[in-house]
Amino acid sequence: MAPAVAENALNAHSCVHCCPSLFWRRVSAAAKTMMSWRSHLASRSRRITTTPRLFPQTSLFRRRHRLLRVRHLHLPHMGRRRHLHLHRLHPGKKAPPPPPPPPPGKKAPPPPPSPPKIIGSGASLVSLPGEVNIAPSKPVYIGPKLKTFFWKKMPRLSGIWCFSNDFSAETIIDEPFLLAMLEIRKKASPLSTSSGESKEPKRNGLCKSSAFSFQRKQNIAIALKQLKLPVDEMCRALIECDEVALPFEKLELLLGVLPTVEEMERLRMEKVLGNVSWTDVEEYVYKVCVTVTDARERISLLLASEQTEELVSFTEKRIDMIEKAVNLLTSKSSRLAAVLHAVLALGNFMNRGGAHADAVGFRLESLNQMNFVKAVDGKTTMLEVFVVSLKDRRPDLLQFIEELDCLDSLAGTTVQEVGRSVSQLSFTLQKMRSAVEESKRPEMKENRAAMFPAGLVDLFPNRMALHIQKHLAVVSELALRHQRLKEDVSAMLEGYGEDPMLDESVLWNYILQFGMDVENFCKRAEMEGIDKQTLLRAVGVDPNALGETRLNDGMAEEGGAARGSDDGRSVSGTLQ
């Protein structure tokens, strides 16, 4: 297109003397063609210069981008050089001057009004570009206020709501009846005086208290109604530690009523400012906390003193049970120890000549594997063979199940739980001792005497001192017993090949499960008559063909070879 523009300009120059009008027409056409070509290249370069970022690795595209960038950079200069102003091509005509600026002090004329908006079908409004559609506001309901029905509205039409029904729901709307039943009625305020004149409530610029949330304030009000104690009587009962006026249940209820540290700080700030309107709840709570400054700590220690007897008894019972369990698993003369040694002898007899032979002990979790080792018939388990052997040779050892009652009564109790109970008792006594020592300070005595009502004597320090004197020796003894028990449990765990820091309830569970399996098979053996002869017939061996003496002697010799000791021979012979 560019050569065509140059050719038109050359033809126009050659015909300037022949036909001036033709010259000006051709120059104007050339100028318009040049301007359109310039705008076309500019728009094309703007479209393409942003795309190379998508493919920066393509060499062909980089070369094309570089060429277009050069064109884009040189295009304005070329345009300035070849752009022809039309008013210069016509010597007798000048460009119109720009409009003069408005005179100072005079405002610019207002813009012309916008065309009216067209309301189409439906509720949507059609406006010109750049304008904001303003939805029509909903009509304000000014009728009577009814009870609110808190339902969940459908976000869109679906289901039965998509089509209309012949039934008209408006027929059941009995407005007078519904207003009488559901209208919110304003409570009549007792503002009328004896003369019949009403008084306006005096607000005096007071705002509501924000010390408590709405729900918290409601809970406090409900608790105060249950306490049924005036504030002065409440303070007196706390100071004198009156168990009749404040039993254990009311002390627990009062502890939930008292404000936290943050709530008390807000109450103090509102009291200092004086521009907050308080209800009976704030007044009651504030007076109790100001009169009895240590009300929360006092109530906590009173509750702990009531629970000390029960907690001490509970801790003593738990320590006794764990001590019995540890003695059972560490005793060398118990039936459980004999049964475990019998299992060890049977295992060494079965594993002789293998990598698992000559074991000196085993971890208790291996007891469960006796249920999965099968005899040659594929049905009888090692546990059943072991129990039948005990019933035939040492039936008294099966009474070890009765020794497991102490483990069953633990119910998951561990040394760690007992330690928490002992720590709680020690911490409570320490806090009581600190409270007693704090009450002996002269400045504390003066402060309490100034805050307490006249004629009241603080009995809290004396009660705490008596409580400490009564339970200090018992709690100290429990702490020593717990420390010794903790060491015994660690030694027991280490003796059975477990981690000393492990929870000892794992061992209890292993032994209890083993005892349960043995007991269940003993019951089944009694019902089905299972004995040695029955098991031999199950594996295809005739018990009459084998002499009882030969069977026993042969197995005893094999057991002795497996153990390599007198103890091993005796236990192995016992199992057979």
On whether both 358 and 274 belong to a single domain, the answer is no
Which two three-digit tokens encode residue 537?
A: 């017939």
Last residue of a domain, one of 258, 292, 326: 292
Domain assignment of residue 234, given as a range: 208-292
Residue 53 has pLDDT above 50, yes or no: no
Query: Does 419 map to a domain?
Result: yes
Q: Rounded to the nearest 5°, which phi and psi values hold at 574?
A: -65, -40
Q: Is 21 exposed, middle or buried (0-12, 13-18, 19+ CB in 10 A)?
A: exposed
Rounded-to-integer distance, Cα 199 and Cα 193, Å: 8
Last residue of a domain, one of 261, 292, 323: 292
**Residues 6 or more apart from 256 whose CB is under 8 A from it?**
219, 223
The helix (H) or strand (E) run that includes residue 460 is helix 460-495
Find how far residue 553's CA is from the centre of its chain.
67
Query: Does 174 map to a domain?
Result: no
What is residue 10's predicted lDDT score, i.e. its pLDDT?
A: 47
Q: Is 422 helix (H, G, I), strand (E, B) or coil?
A: helix
CATH number, residue 264: 1.20.58
What is residue 77's predicted lDDT score, i.e. its pLDDT?
A: 43
What is residue 377's predicted lDDT score, i.e. its pLDDT?
A: 86
What is residue 174's predicted lDDT score, i.e. its pLDDT?
A: 59
Helix 248-257 to helix 214-227 angle (10° resolution) is 150
On whether both 406 and 464 belong to a single domain, the answer is yes
pTM: 0.57
Q: Is 276 helix (H, G, I), strand (E, B) or coil?
A: strand
Q: pLDDT of 452-465, one tens digit each?
A: 888 888 899 999 99
On whether both 349 and 427 belong to a single domain, the answer is yes
On whether both 446 and 372 belong to a single domain, the answer is yes
**Residues 6 or more apart from 318 whose CB is under 8 A from it?**
413, 417, 418, 421
CATH number, residue 394: 1.20.58.2220
Q: pLDDT of 90-127, one tens digit each?
A: 445 455 565 666 555 555 555 555 554 444 444 444 44
Rounded-to-integer distance, Cα 1 and Cα 34, Å: 9
Rounded-to-integer distance, Cα 161 and Cα 545, Å: 88
Residue 253 has pLDDT above 90, yes or no: yes
What dihedral do alpha carbons 536, 537, 538, 539 form, nearest 10°? 60
Which two three-digit tokens encode residue 12?
A: 């126009």
Query: Does 109 map to a domain?
Result: no
On whether both 350 and 249 belong to a single domain, the answer is no
Q: pLDDT of 119-167, one tens digit each?
A: 444 444 444 444 445 555 666 666 777 667 555 566 766 554 565 555 4
Helix 415-439 to helix 295-330 angle (10° resolution) is 150
Taking alpha carbons only, the member of 401, 404, 408 closest to residue 520 is: 401
Residue 418 has pLDDT above 80, yes or no: yes
On whether both 282 and 429 belong to a single domain, the answer is no
Q: pLDDT of 375-405, one tens digit each?
A: 888 888 999 999 998 998 899 999 999 999 8
Which two three-digit tokens encode residue 471?
A: 């339970």
Please count the structural domains in the chain. 2
Q: Are 428 and 304 in contact (CB under 8 A)?
A: yes
**Residues 6 or more apart from 295 whose CB is under 8 A from it?**
238, 258, 288, 289
Rounded-to-integer distance, Cα 393 and Cα 77, Å: 117
Residue 372 has pLDDT above 80, yes or no: yes
Question: Cα-atom radius of gyration of the chain, to the nearest Å?
Answer: 51
Taking alpha carbons only, the member of 571, 496, 517, 515 closest to residue 400 is: 515
Query: Measured on CA atoms in the order 172, 173, 176, 179, is the torsion positive or negative?
Result: positive
Mean pLDDT of the chain: 75
**Residues 6 or more apart from 314 whose CB is under 8 A from it?**
421
Q: Is 399 helix (H, G, I), strand (E, B) or coil?
A: helix
Q: Are 387 and 398 in contact (CB under 8 A)?
A: yes
Instruction: Give the pLDDT band of residue 340 (cuts 50, 70, 90).
Output: very high
**Residues 6 or more apart from 414 whose CB is under 8 A from it?**
322, 503, 504, 505
Query: Does 377 map to a domain?
Result: yes
Q: How far does the chain reach from its first CA to its final CA, in angstroms?
A: 115
On whether both 386 and 454 belong to a single domain, the answer is yes
Q: pLDDT of 235-249, one tens digit each?
A: 999 999 999 999 999
Query: Does 437 map to a domain?
Result: yes
The residue count of the chain comes to 576
On whether both 250 and 343 belong to a single domain, the answer is no
Q: Is 267 exposed, middle or buried (0-12, 13-18, 19+ CB in 10 A)?
A: buried
On whether both 497 and 405 belong to a single domain, the answer is yes
Q: Which residue has the higher pLDDT, 220 or 48?
A: 220
What is residue 157's predicted lDDT score, i.e. its pLDDT?
A: 63
Query: Does 251 map to a domain?
Result: yes
What is residue 80's predicted lDDT score, i.e. its pLDDT?
A: 44
Rounded-to-integer distance, Cα 30 and Cα 5, Å: 6
Q: pLDDT of 183-234, one tens digit each?
A: 677 665 444 444 444 444 444 567 888 899 999 999 999 999 999 999 999 9
Rounded-to-integer distance, Cα 409 and Cα 406, Å: 5
Q: Rounded to the nearest 5°, which phi and psi values hold at 358?
A: 55, 40
Percent of the chain residues topping a pLDDT of 90: 38
Q: Is 381 helix (H, G, I), strand (E, B) or coil?
A: strand
**Residues 6 or more apart from 72 whose CB is under 8 A from it?**
42, 45, 49
Rounded-to-integer distance, Cα 74 and Cα 53, Å: 22
What is the DSSP track for 561-574?
Answer: HHH-SHHHHHHHHH
Residue type, 546: L
Q: Rounded to the nearest 5°, which phi and psi values hold at 337?
A: -65, -40
Q: Are strands 207-208 and 276-277 parallel, antiparallel or unpaired?
A: parallel
Question: With left for phi above 0 and alpha for psi between -120 and 50, is residue 17 left, alpha or beta?
Answer: alpha
Angle (CA) 204-210-211 rounded to 5° is: 120
Q: Is 259 helix (H, G, I), strand (E, B) or coil?
A: coil
Instruction: Give the pLDDT band of residue 28 (cuts 50, 70, 90).
Output: confident
Residue 472 has pLDDT above 90, yes or no: yes
Query: Does 213 map to a domain?
Result: yes
What is residue 47's predicted lDDT score, i.e. its pLDDT?
A: 55
What is the per-residue burial (b if ≥16 Cβ within 10 Å, else e) of 174-186? eeeeeeeeeeeee
Taking alpha carbons only, the member of 280, 234, 238, 285 closest to residue 259 is: 285
On whether both 268 and 216 belong to a single domain, the answer is yes
Which two three-digit tokens encode residue 485?
A: 């028990």
Which residue shows structure tokens 């000559």?
358
Query: Does 131 map to a domain?
Result: no
Q: pLDDT of 264-297, one tens digit each?
A: 999 999 999 888 889 999 999 999 999 998 999 9
Q: Are strands 118-119 and 125-126 parallel, antiparallel or unpaired?
A: antiparallel
Residue 483 has pLDDT above 90, yes or no: yes
On whether both 417 and 450 belong to a single domain, the answer is yes
What is residue 74's predicted lDDT score, i.e. its pLDDT?
A: 44
Q: pLDDT of 488-506, one tens digit each?
A: 999 999 998 888 888 888 8
Which residue shows structure tokens 């009694």?
526
Percent of the chain residues topping a pLDDT of 70: 62
Rounded-to-integer distance, Cα 311 and Cα 283, Å: 37
On whether both 379 and 446 belong to a single domain, the answer is yes
